[in-house]
């Protein structure tokens, strides 16, 4: 299929993985060996904060009092949407059982993990929405204990709006600690916390690497890279809105890729003309991020038709995928690889990032080709069980014995043999591998 790059990335979003791994591994090892004291040492070094690690009820109330009423209302609005969508997701998983064969019952149970650790970024930006997305879904899933962990600002502490969001969404403890040390504290059960069964939430490359290293000892939502967004647009799209949406996502970070895929050259050229001016109009920090992201990582791709556009999108498997084109139902049915899909000009990634209810913790770096984003299901173990009558176990035992011997697993075969011998002492069975 024809594909022409009108703008091509000069860089890919890769950090110095080997160096980051060594730094994070050393910190994790030291904290695991030294416990609370060493975690506090790193908090003083990186967070430059020496206040309470676990916020007291009085500190939480004092922070809440600083949040304007209008912002509180907005946070409650977003929380309600996320909660209701999470409840809908939970309703799609149920405990079931079936008689797989006469007298042999098998079943499934969905069991939430006990303790969830929710990391909420609070450095350059105060990610209020991340507190809503992570804590709410853990609460709806049924986790017994939820820790919200966010980096404090020097001399200030955790942003009051993050504290308010975590509190109303159901956090049992709010921890003022960031980075690797915060992740370690939740994992190792420091400061009197229960050891986390799962770690969720976005973070920088050090947080992501900590989760990568700890995965296996604990569950994680995903290993996330820089956020990325792709827009599919045809000749009916509004170039100014397309350009604005691209810039809105480029401000995430200097290495956050944004991509435009279109079959209309005129639209592509107009968008490329508009983007620099829109970036120049941003506040300083946002402008610096968006400038670098657009310059080094953005791409504008011209395709021959909508099928070629869809194929390109599926290949990129973006975290966020927006369609601003005709026949939205066709795109909904055709597209298969994305973290979250935004259909039509009337919605935008920013809505999903903050307030619509779908989760904004999503797969990046083409991981959407094999996984979805954070949901109540990430906190739940889908386990199975079985029960049988003696008669119901007969055929299963015979098959198990023969298959096991064919595989050379004599111990497995004998576990079936002894049951047949006990339950049916007067019967003879051919349990050899060759039958």
- Give pLDDT, residue 156: 85
> Lowest mean pLDDT: which of 123-127, 243-247, 413-417?
123-127
- Give pLDDT, residue 50: 84
Fold of 35-221+377-381: Rossmann fold (3.40.50)
Instruction: Give SS3 for 315.
Output: helix
Q: How many CB atoms lie within 10 A of CB 137?
A: 31
- Give pLDDT, residue 36: 97
Mean pLDDT of 71-91: 98
| Per-chain mean pLDDT for the chain | 95
Residues in the chain: 435
Mean pLDDT of 17-31: 94
- Please provide residue 134's backbone torsions phi and psi, each rounded to the nearest 5 degrees: -85, -45
Mean pLDDT of 107-112: 97
In this model, does residue 419 exceed pLDDT 90?
A: yes
Q: How confident is the model at residue 1 (pLDDT cuts 50, 70, 90)?
A: low
Domains 3-12+226-372 and 35-221+377-381 share a fold: yes
In this model, does residue 123 exceed pLDDT 90?
A: no
Contact partners, residue 32, CB within 8 Å, separation at least 6: 184, 188
User: Under CATH, which architecture does the 3-12+226-372 domain have?
Assistant: 3-Layer(aba) Sandwich (3.40)
Contact partners, residue 246, CB within 8 Å, separation at least 6: 229, 231, 258, 260, 271, 275, 294, 298
pLDDT tens readout for residues 181-234: 999 999 999 999 999 999 999 998 899 999 999 999 999 999 888 999 999 999
Do 83 and 137 meet the contact criterion of CB atoms below 8 Å apart? no
Domain positions in the chain: 3-12+226-372, 35-221+377-381, 389-435
Edge to edge, what strands does the sheet with 219-220 contain? 173-176, 145-150, 115-119, 198-200, 219-220
Catalytic residues, which ones? 319-320
How many angstroms separate the CA atoms of 319 and 247, rounded? 16
Do 354 and 77 meet the contact criterion of CB atoms below 8 Å apart? no
In our burial notation (b when 16+ CB lie closer than 10 A, e otherwise), range 145-183 reads bbbbbbbbbeeebbbbbbbbbbbbbbbbbbbbbbbbbbb
Instruction: Give SS3 for 261.
Output: strand
In this model, does residue 14 exceed pLDDT 70?
A: no
Total-model pTM: 0.93
Q: Which parts of 94-178 fold into alpha helices (H)?
A: 128-141, 160-169
pLDDT tens readout for residues 36-58: 999 999 999 999 988 999 999 99
pLDDT tens readout for residues 296-340: 999 999 999 999 999 999 999 999 999 999 999 999 999 999 999
């Amino acid at each position: 299929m024809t594909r022409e790059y009108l703008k091509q990335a000069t860089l890919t979003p890769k950090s110095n993985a080997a160096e980051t791994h060594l730094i994070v591994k050393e910190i994790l090892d030291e904290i695991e060996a030294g416990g609370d004291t060493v975690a506090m040492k790193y908090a003083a070094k990186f967070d430059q904060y020496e206040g309470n690690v676990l916020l007291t009820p009085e500190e939480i109330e004092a922070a809440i009092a600083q949040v304007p009423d209008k912002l509180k209302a907005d946070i409650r609005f977003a929380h309600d949407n996320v909660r209701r969508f999470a409840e809908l997701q939970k309703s799609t998983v149920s405990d079931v059982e079936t008689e797989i064969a006469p007298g042999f019952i098998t079943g499934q149970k969905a069991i939430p993990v006990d303790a969830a650790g929710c990391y909420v970024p609070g450095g350059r930006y105060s990610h209020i929405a991340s507190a809503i997305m992570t804590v709410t879904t853990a609460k709806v899933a049924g986790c017994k204990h939820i820790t919200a962990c966010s980096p404090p600002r020097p001399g200030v502490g955790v942003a009051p709006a993050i504290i308010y969001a975590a509190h109303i969404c159901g956090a049992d403890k709010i921890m003022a600690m960031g980075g690797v040390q915060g992740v370690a504290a939740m994992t190792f059960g420091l400061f009197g916390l229960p050891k986390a069964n799962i770690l969720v939430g976005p973070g920088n490359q050090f947080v992501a690497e900590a989760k990568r290293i700890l995965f296996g000892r604990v569950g994680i939502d995903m290993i996330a890279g820089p956020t990325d967004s792709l827009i599919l647009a045809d000749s009916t799209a509004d170039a100014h809105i397309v350009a604005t949406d691209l810039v809105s996502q480029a401000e995430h970070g200097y290495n956050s890729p944004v991509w435009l895929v279109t079959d209309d050259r005129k639209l592509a050229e107009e968008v490329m003309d508009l983007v620099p001016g829109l970036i120049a109009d941003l506040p300083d920090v946002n402008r610096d991020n968006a400038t670098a992201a657009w310059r080094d990582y953005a791409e504008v791709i011209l395709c021959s038709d909508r099928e070629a556009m869809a194929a390109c999108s599926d290949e990129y498997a973006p975290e966020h995928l927006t369609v601003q084109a005709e026949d939205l139902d066709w795109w909904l049915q055709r597209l298969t690889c994305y973290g979250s899909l935004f259909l039509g000009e009337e919605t935008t990634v920013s809505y999903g990032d903050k307030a619509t209810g779908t989760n904004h913790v999503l797969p990046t770096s083409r991981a959407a080709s094999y996984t979805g984003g954070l949901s109540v299901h990430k906190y739940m173990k889908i386990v199975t069980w079985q029960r049988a009558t003696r008669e119901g176990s007969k055929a299963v035992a015979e098959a198990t014995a023969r298959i096991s011997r064919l595989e050379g697993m004599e111990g497995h075969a004998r576990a079936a043999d002894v049951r047949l011998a006990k339950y049916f002492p007067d019967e003879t069975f051919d349990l050899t591998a060759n039958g």
